[in-house]
C-alpha cells in the first residue's frame, strides 16, 4: 500500500492531504485530551490515503513524546522507521503459505497471531498499537475472532482499523469501534491539489479525476506514470464504436498497450457515464447497463487463464451494436 502513503517525496515531515485534514483534526483532539478508544475505525473511499494516515496515528499512539504528529526522533519513532517496533502489529494481506499467491482476505490465523502478540507486555512504548487494513476484507471467522479483543483489549492497546466499505463489515465489529469518517475530496479542491502536485492544467486535472473515479491520489499516479495518456484514447475508441466510425477489430488492436486492469475500470466508468445519456431510450439503457456489469465481471476474470483479447473483442462488438 505504498501508494497510500501520506509522506510526499522531498518533504521533511508527514503531509496531511487536504481531504484528510478534518478527520486528522478529530484524531488530534482525542489524542491531546487522552481519550483514545480501544478501537478506531478509519473509514472512507479507496485511494484517499487512509492507510498512510492510520500509520501516522499508530506512530503517535506509540511515540514516547506522546505527540501527534509523532516526534520522529524518539526511540519508538526510530524503531518504526526500521519496521522493527515490538509494540506495533500490522494485519494486512499476506501470501498463502502454500501457493505464494497474495490472499485477498484477512483470515483467522492472522487474528489469532495478533491476539497472541497483544498478550505480551509492552517493551518500549506506553501502549501497544495494531493496524488492521483493510478490515472489511476479513472473513467471518476472522471477524468473530477479533470481537473479544475489540471489546476488552489487554492492557493499553489501541486498534486502528481501516475500511473502504463498512457495509461489508459485520455490525458487531462496527459497533465496537469509534468511527472516523473520511469524506471524498470535493471536485474543486481535488483539481487545485492536482494542479499543484503534478503541474497540470485544470482541464487535464479534471480529465484525470474522471479517469480515476474522483480519487486525486489515483489521478496523480496515472499522470506520473503516464498511463493517463491512454484514457483519452479509450474514450475516443468507445465513442467511435458507438457511432460506427471505428471497427471492433481495429479497436482491440488500438487498446493493446493499455494496462488491462485500468482498461476495464475505464470501460466500466465510461459505460456508467454513457448510461446517463441514454436514459431516454430504455432498450439502449438496458444494454449499456448490462455491458457495464459485463465489464466489471471481465475485470475480475483478469487473473484467470481466460483469453483476454477474446473477452475484449466480444465486449467491443456488443458495444458497437447498441442502438439508441
What is the C-alpha to C-alpha distance for residues 150 and 67, in angstroms, rounded to an integer? 24
Instruction: Show the binding pattern over residues 19-58: x = contacts Zn ion (CB under 5 A), - = does not.
Output: ----------------------------------------
**Peptide linkage before 69 cis (omega within 30 of 0):** yes
Residue 134, preceding peptide bond in cis (omega within 30° of 0): yes
Q: What is the C-alpha end-to-end distance of the chain, expressed in Å?
A: 42
For Zn ion, the closer of residues 16 and 288 by Cβ is 16
15 lies in the binding site for Zn ion (CB under 5 A): no
- Closer of 29 and 65 to Zn ion (Cβ): 65
Q: How many residues bind Zn ion (CB under 5 A)?
A: 6
**Chain centroid, CA 47 distance in Å:** 4
Q: How many CB atoms lie within 10 A of CB 198?
A: 18
As measured in angstroms, the least distance from the Cβ of 159 to Zn ion is 20
How far apart are CB 28 and Zn ion at their closest, in Å? 15
Residue spans of alpha helices (H) in 41-121: 50-62, 75-82, 108-118
Instruction: State in angstroms the smallest separation of the CB of 38 from Zn ion.
Output: 22
Query: Candidates 3-11, 68-76, 103-111, 175-183 — which segment interacts with Zn ion by CB under 5 A?
Result: 68-76
Residue nearer to Zn ion on the CB measure, 71 or 235: 71
Under the binding rule (CB under 5 A), the answer on residue 77 touching Zn ion is: yes
Which residues, 6+ apart, have CB-to-CB distance to 77 below 8 Å? Answer: 59, 62, 63, 64, 70, 71
Q: How far is the CB of 209 from Zn ion (least distance, A)?
A: 36
How far, in whole angstroms, is CA 295 from its chain's centroid? Answer: 20
Closer to Zn ion by CB, 71 or 213: give it.
71
C-alpha cell at 78: 526510530
Q: How many helices (H) and strands (E) does the chain have?
A: 14, 5
C-alpha cell at 75: 526511540
> Could you tell me the smallest distance in angstroms from the CB atom of residue 128 to Zn ion?
15
By CB under 5 A, residue 70 contacts Zn ion: yes
> Contact region for Zn ion (CB under 5 A) — 72-80, 218-226, 265-273, 300-308?
72-80
Nearer to Zn ion, 70 or 284 (CB): 70
Q: How far is the CB of 58 from Zn ion (least distance, A)?
A: 12
- Indicate which single residue of 1, 71, 275, 317 sits in contact with Zn ion (rule: CB under 5 A): 71
Contact assessment for residue 162 and residue 42, using Cβ atoms and an 8 Å cutoff: yes
Residue 70 or 291: the one with the smaller Cβ distance to Zn ion is 70
Nearest to 163 by CA among 100, 91, 73, 71: 91
Q: Catalog residues that contact Zn ion under the rule CB under 5 A.
A: 63, 65, 70-71, 74, 77
Amino acid at each position: 500500500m505504498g501508494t497510500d502513503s501520506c509522506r510526499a517525496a522531498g518533504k521533511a515531515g508527514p503531509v496531511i492531504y487536504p481531504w484528510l485534514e478534518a478527520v486528522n483534526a478529530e484524531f488530534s483532539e482525542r489524542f491531546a485530551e487522552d481519550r483514545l478508544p480501544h478501537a478506531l475505525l478509519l473509514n472512507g473511499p479507496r485511494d484517499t490515503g487512509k492507510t498512510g494516515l492510520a500509520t501516522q496515528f499508530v506512530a503517535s499512539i506509540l511515540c514516547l513524546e506522546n505527540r501527534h504528529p509523532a516526534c520522529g526522533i524518539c526511540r519508538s519513532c526510530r524503531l518504526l522507521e526500521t519496521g522493527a517496533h515490538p509494540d506495533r502489529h500490522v494485519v494486512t494481506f499476506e501470501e498463502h503459505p502454500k501457493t505464494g499467491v497474495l490472499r485477498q482476505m484477512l483470515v483467522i490465523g492472522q487474528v489469532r497471531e495478533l491476539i497472541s502478540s497483544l498478550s505480551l507486555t509492552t517493551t518500549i512504548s506506553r501502549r501497544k498499537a495494531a493496524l488492521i487494513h483493510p478490515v472489511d476484507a476479513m472473513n467471518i471467522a476472522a471477524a468473530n475472532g477479533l470481537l473479544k479483543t475489540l471489546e476488552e483489549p489487554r492492557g493499553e492497546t489501541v486498534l486502528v482499523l481501516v475500511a473502504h466499505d463498512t457495509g461489508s463489515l459485520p455490525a458487531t465489529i462496527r459497533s465496537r469501534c469509534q468511527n472516523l469518517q473520511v469524506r471524498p475530496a470535493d471536485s474543486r479542491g481535488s483539481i487545485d491539489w492536482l494542479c499543484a502536485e503534478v503541474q497540470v492544467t485544470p482541464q487535464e486535472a479534471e480529465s484525470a479525476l474522471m479517469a480515476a473515479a474522483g480519487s486525486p491520489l489515483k489521478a496523480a499516479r496515472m499522470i506520473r506514470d503516464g498511463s493517463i495518456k491512454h484514457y483519452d484514447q479509450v474514450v475516443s475508441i468507445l465513442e467511435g464504436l458507438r457511432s460506427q466510425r471505428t471497427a471492433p477489430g481495429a479497436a482491440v488492436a488500438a487498446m493493446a498497450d493499455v494496462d488491462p486492469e485500468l482498461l476495464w475500470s475505464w470501460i466500466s466508468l465510461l459505460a456508467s457515464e454513457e448510461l446517463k445519456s441514454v436514459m431516454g431510450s430504455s432498450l439502449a439503457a438496458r444494454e449499456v447497463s448490462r455491458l457495464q456489469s459485463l465489464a466489471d465481471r471481465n475485470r475480475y476474470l483478469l487473473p484467470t487463464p481466460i483469453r483476454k483479447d477474446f473477452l475484449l473483442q466480444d465486449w467491443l462488438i456488443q458495444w458497437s451494436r447498441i442502438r439508441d
